[in-house]
Amino acid sequence: MAFEPGQKIGDYEIVARLGAGGLGEVYEVQHLISQRREALKILLPTQSGTPEMVERFRREVQTLATLNHLNIASLHNAFYHDNQLVMVMELIHGETLRDRRLRVAVTLPRALDYVEQILRALIYAHGLGVVHRDIKPSNIMITQEGVVKLLDFGIAITDHSTDLTHAGFLMGSLNYMSPEQVSGQKATARSDIYAVGVTLYELLTGRLPITGASDYEIMVGHMQQVPAAPHQIAPIVSEALSRAVMLALEKDPAKRFATAEEFLQAIESATMATRHQPVLTLPMAKPPATAALRPGTGARSEPVPRSTTEARQASAGSGSGLQSLPLEELSRKLATYIGPVAKFVVKKLAAQSDDLDHIYREAAKQISSDADRAAFLRSRNK
């Protein structure tokens, strides 16, 4: 459903379309009585007919209704229009952290201020049992006054909500996703801490800690690759601050900061000694090579460059008769043991061979437990 300027929606008049992101399309509106400018969000037409997406949108409304914090975009109202749920939110004048980093260089104190505000928002949200699950620069708005606003709680979960995610299904943005989310485990507050660690790493160094030419490479990287410490890339970053970032990026959630407050205190402690030093500018950011995996679509908003080898394998696999193989069933079985990465493991193996028995044997090598590996192989004949 597309709205036009001047159109009336309940007690609101459409002023302009602001864009689309996550689950919904966003418009600037004006309340007919108070004349206050606000932001109106409604499900995208492609999502409005999907029961799961409608439920996620409803949960986002209910989650935001429980949150009242300076650094979280606030919910003002929610109602139904032509049987579609609409939410009305605080209108934020500014730009996303992603856009700002691509447009201008950011000083070290300013970057730390942004992250500290994000962490204060998470201290509050986590205290109420809300896990965001999709912290990234494009979900962080910077107002004209320099205030951070955390956006898009569309896939957030609470202590009392059931997860709508199915086995083998990724939720969030791959570049900022924690290892436990990649492997299919439930996200926790420490998963948000990992995503903030990725965001701070990118601010400090101008690059992502984990990169790859494919989804599979990035997923494996999050689970296995230890990035270079920030101070090794950007000399203006102190070793103490670098250690705090690397602690947030620990693969094992139990080894990370237990709370956002601990992370905030570590940043403040690490930077206390440098408060009076000359203000230095951090490296400029580069556009990431990959884009977010949107909930429910499995699709990207922009293409991902592939290596020459992968391109050759994909080309070879396209005419090998693989369409007749039950690869979807194989992926589903493998996901029981290794999580959402199973889909990419199977796709990579299928591009190399059309022998299903061989694919099963190679896929089994990704399962660490001997008993689970044997059970997976036995499932081949069921």
Same domain, 320 and 212: no
Out of 249, 274, 299, a domain closes at: 274
Same domain, 111 and 255: yes
Same domain, 258 and 318: no
d(CA 184, CA 321): 30
pLDDT of 285: 67
Contact 112, 266 (CB under 8 A): no
d(CA 334, CA 351): 17
**For residue range 156-175, what is the model confidence (pLDDT) as tens digits?**
888 766 555 544 445 668 99
**Pairing of the two strands 37-43 and 84-89:** antiparallel
d(CA 248, CA 263): 7
Residue 86 pLDDT level (bands cut at 50, 70, 90): very high
pLDDT of 43: 83
Strand order in the sheet with 37-43: 8-9, 12-21, 24-31, 37-43, 84-89, 75-81
Question: Is 280 inside a domain boundary?
Answer: no
Q: Which residues are catalytic?
A: 134
The answer, yes or no, to whether residue 211 has pLDDT greater than 90, is yes
Extract the tokens encoding 294: 């949107």
Q: How many CB atoms lie within 10 A of CB 261?
A: 15
**For residue range 259-272, what is the model confidence (pLDDT) as tens digits?**
999 999 999 999 87
- In this predicted model, which residue has the larger pLDDT, 240 or 170? 240
pLDDT of 45: 66
Extract the tokens encoding 253: 């959630």
Instruction: Count Cα neighbours of 182 within 13 Å in the Cβ-side half-sphere.
Output: 26
Same domain, 239 and 113: yes
d(CA 81, CA 283): 46
Question: Is 2 inside a domain boundary?
Answer: no
Same domain, 190 and 121: yes
Out of 217, 251, 274, a domain closes at: 274
Question: Is 297 inside a domain boundary?
Answer: no
Closest CA to 249 of 226, 266, 269: 226
Share of the chain above pLDDT 90, in %: 49
Place of tokens 């059970």: 375
We report the CATH number of the domain holding residue 30 as 3.30.200.20
pLDDT of 165: 52
Three-state DSSP state, 176: helix
What's the domain range around 21? 8-89
Strand order in the sheet with 140-143: 94-96, 140-143, 148-150
Place of tokens 């070879």: 316
Out of 257, 274, 291, a domain closes at: 274
**For residue range 91-138, what is the model confidence (pLDDT) as tens digits?**
999 999 999 998 888 899 999 999 999 999 999 999 999 999 999 999
The answer, yes or no, to whether residue 276 has pLDDT greater than 60, is no
Residue 5 pLDDT level (bands cut at 50, 70, 90): very high
Extract the tokens encoding 209: 């800690």
Question: How many domains does the structure of the chain reveal?
Answer: 3
Q: pTM value?
A: 0.75
Mean pLDDT, the chain, integer: 82
Same domain, 129 and 85: no
Same domain, 250 and 364: no
Phi, psi of 54 (to 5 degrees): -60, -40
Same domain, 214 and 348: no
Question: Is 38 inside a domain boundary?
Answer: yes
Contact 243, 257 (CB under 8 A): no
Extract the tokens encoding 380: 């081949």
Same domain, 158 and 194: yes
Mean pLDDT within 195-222: 93
Question: Is 288 inside a domain boundary?
Answer: no
Phi, psi of 157 (to 5 degrees): -125, 155
We report the CATH number of the domain holding residue 147 as 1.10.510.10
Radius of gyration of the chain (CA): 22
Same domain, 49 and 151: no
d(CA 286, CA 338): 32
The lowest-confidence range among 24-28, 60-64, 204-208, 282-286 is: 282-286
- In this predicted model, which residue has the larger pLDDT, 184 or 30? 30
Phi, psi of 154 (to 5 degrees): -65, -25
Extract the tokens encoding 229: 């410490």
Question: Is 333 inside a domain boundary?
Answer: yes
Residue 332 pLDDT level (bands cut at 50, 70, 90): confident
Same domain, 174 and 255: yes
pLDDT of 358: 81
Same domain, 161 and 221: yes
